[in-house]
Structure 1
Amino acid sequence: MLSRVASSLYWLSRYVERSDGILRMLKINYASSQDTIHEFTWDPVIRISSGGKEEEISSMKNDSRKVVEYLLFNRDNPNSIINIITLARENARSVQEHIATDLWQCLNEYYHTVKDPKLLWYVQKDDPITALDILIKQVMLYYGTADSTMERGEIRSFMSIGKYLERSIQSIDILDIKFISVSDNPDLLTDTSYWKHLLLSLGGYELYLKSYRGGFSDENVLELIMLNQDFPRSAKYGVHNIQRYFERLKSEKNIEHYKSLSFNIGKLHSYITYSSVYTIKEEGLHNYLVKIRNGLYGIGNLLQEYYF
């Protein structure tokens, strides 16, 4: 496979996964912002999802509709959904002969759905949740189509590595930002709605209720998002799948590079596997998350250097 093709497949998958994470986070946080009983801030979402100008962001922090519009449609924000999906579509177009026709059509439909003026009307005048639900369904359609139509070979491996790398980084960023807020405001430790919204943002609320019977606690939330091997958005699950799909790329032609990258992935996987809530807290949660994040970025950089 050409390195250009591998790179496009990898980034296509990363961009789609990034859009999914942003959309789900927006939906839960918009719903939370409508609850006037609790004090609400968009700061964590903006810090994770935005790459825009600080002055522009500050002017809309208390206007939920403007925040949603900015993160969905603003061309000046490199992490807006419309920009992300445009990049995903450009990557897909360059490798159109390597992906299923149904998948290309699905991504193309997602792109045109984001550009539909009716979505902007929902955000500005009607119910932004409707617009977010429409886009989330487009992502779900994309993943269902990819799962049922794509061949299980190198193409699938590069796409899956991109998907799980992006997903793991997102989970760690959300966890880090949320726990920093707890450090600034310890009262949040006992705020049930705070932990509920965090779990809903990652799609882990129902699994949490099934796994932990004693109510919400910061330790259980940390364990679920970092160490639960059955939770699709946990760091452990994500790194395990990065390792699993990378092993399928082994070839005698690139054995030296393969061994180097495999070592780094295995090292990160072992570091997470042999962690516990106790050791994480002993090390310091922020420091621990920074190490994991740096490890994931390191894997991405080595992929860029060796394969792309």
Structure 2
Amino acid sequence: MLSRVAANLYWLSRYVERSDGILRMLKIYYASSQDSISEFSWKPIIKIYTGLEKQYVQQMEYNSREVLLYLIAGKENANSVTNIITLARENARSVQDHITKDLWQCLNEYYHLVKDPRLIAAFRKDDPISALDILIKQVMLYYGTAEVTMERGEGRSFMNIGKYLERSIQSIDILDSKFGTIDHNPDLLTDTTYWKHLLLSIGGHELYLKTYRQGFEAENVLEMVVLNSDFPRSVVYSVGHINRYFERLKNNNTISDVKELSFLIGRLYSRIKYSTIETIQEEGLHNYLYSIKKDLYSIGNSVNGQYFAYS
């Protein structure tokens, strides 16, 4: 497979996964803002998904509608859903021979939907939850279409490596942001609503209730999001799948010099797999998450250098 094709498939998948994470976070945070008695701050979400300077964050952090519009349709925001899906569509357009017609049509529908003026109007004055649900369902349709129509070859391996790399980084960012907020407000440590919203934002609420019977506790939330191999958005699950699809690439490609990348992925997966809550706490949660995220970026850079060197 040409490096250009591999790179487009990889980034197509990363962009779609990023948009899914943004939409889910916005839905739960907006619902939380409506339930909040005191003034609700969007600062953690703005910090994760934008590069805005502090003064601009302060201007919009209490304005739910403004934040929604900026993260969904903000032209000047490189990480807005509209800009991300535009990039995903451009990547898909250039590799139409390597994806199925159904997948292309699904992504094209997503692109036109997110640019629909009627949908944008809903974020301005109607019910944003309904509009977000429409977009989230479109992402789910995309993933279902990819699963049942894509050939199980190199292209799908690159797509899944991109997907799970993006997903693991997002889970770490969200977890770090939530636990970081506790440092400034220790009362949140025992706030069940706080942890419930975190789990809802990454689709882990139902599994948590089935797994942990003693209610919402910070340590259990941490264990689930980082170490639970049955949770599709946990860090260990995502990194395990990066390892799985990289092994497939190793078996199918003719490049012999992949030792460094293989070592980086294997070392990271083993480190997370054999971590415990106790060892994470000994190291310090922020330091642990920062280290994992740094390794994920190193893997991303190594994938780029090994397979997409043309760029």
The structural deviation recorded for 1:53 is 4.8
After superposition, give the CA deviation of every residue in 1:239-280 in whole Å (9 maximum; x if it has no partner): 000000000111563121x22211110000000011000000
SS at match of 1:253: coil
Q: Give the unaligned 5+ runs of structure 2.
A: none
Mapping of 1:30-41 within 5 angstroms?
Answer: 30-37=30-37, 40-41=40-41
After TM superposition, the structure 1 = structure 2 runs for residues 160-179 of structure 1, keeping only pairs within 5 Å, are 160-179=160-179
Looking at structure 1, the residues matched to 306 and 134 of structure 2 have their Cα atoms a distance apart, in angstroms, of 38
Is the 2:89–2:111 contact (alpha carbons within 8 Å) kept by the matching residues of 1?
A: yes
TM-score where L is the length of structure 2: 0.97
Q: Do 2:231 and 2:237's aligned partners in 1 also have CA atoms closer than 8 Å?
A: yes
Q: Does 1:248 align with 2:220?
A: no
Cα drift, residue 123 of structure 1: 0.7
State the Cα distance separating 1:50 from its structure 2 match: 1.3
Check if 1:78 corresponds to 2:78: yes
Q: Secondary structure at the match of 1:77?
A: coil
Could you tell me how far apart the structure 1 residues matched to 2:54 and 2:95 are? 36
Counterpart amino acid of 2:267? K
Specify the code of the residue in structure 2 equivalent to 1:109. Answer: E
Quick check: 1:52–1:76 contact (8 Å CA) kept in 2?
no
**Does structure 1 conserve the Cα–Cα contact (< 8 Å) formed by 2:43 and 2:57?**
no
Q: Describe the superposition over 1:195-240 as per-residue Cα deviations: whole angstroms up to 9, x where unpaired.
A: 0000001100000000000011110000000000000000000000
**Matching residue's letter, 1:146:** A
Alignment of 1:280 onto 2:257: no
How far apart in 1 are the matches of 2:80 and 2:237?
Answer: 27
Structure 2 residue matching 1:266: 3-state secondary structure: helix
Which whole-Å deviations, capped at 9, do the CAs of 1:17-70 have from their partners, x for residues lacking one? 000000000000000001133553111111111134544332211110111011
The one-letter amino acid paired with 1:254 is I
Say if 2:39 and 2:62, in contact at 8 Å, map to a contact too: no
1:130-180 C-alpha deviation (Å, 9 max, x unpaired): 111111011001001000100001011000000000000000000000000
Match of 1:199 in 2: 199
Q: Is residue 50 of structure 2 the alignment partner of residue 50 of structure 1?
A: yes
Match status 1:97 vs 2:88 = no
Distance 1:219 1:76 in 2: 38
Where does residue 271 of structure 1 map in the other structure?
Answer: 271
* RMSD over aligned Cα atoms: 1.1
CA deviation after TM superposition for structure 1 residue 192, in Å:
0.7
Report percent identity of matched pairs. Answer: 68
- State how many pairs are aligned: 307
Contact 1:107 1:142 in 2 (8 A): yes
- Matching residue of 2:113: 113
Q: Distance in 1 between matches of 2:52 and 2:136?
A: 23
Unaligned segments of structure 1, at least 5 residues: none
Q: Which residue does 1:154 correspond to in 2?
A: 154
CA contact (8 A) 1:12 1:88 kept: yes
CA–CA separation in structure 1 for the residues paired with 2:185 and 2:224: 22
Q: 1:252 to 1:116 in 2, by over 3 A?
A: closer
Task: Check whether the contact 1:160–1:242 (CA below 8 A) recurs between aligned residues.
Answer: yes
Partner of 2:183: 183
Q: Alpha-carbon deviations, 1:80-124, whole Å to 9, x = none? A: 000000000010011111000000010000000001001111111
Letter in 2 for 1:253: T
Query: Residue 130 of structure 1 aligns with which residue?
Result: 130
Amino acid at match of 1:279: T
- 1:74–1:82 Cα contact (<8 Å) kept: yes
Contact 1:52 1:78 in 2 (8 A): no
Whole-Å separation in 2 of the counterparts to 1:65 and 1:142: 27
Runs of 4+ in 1 over 3 A off after TM superposition: 52-57
How far apart are the structure 2 equivalents of 1:252 and 1:189?
A: 48
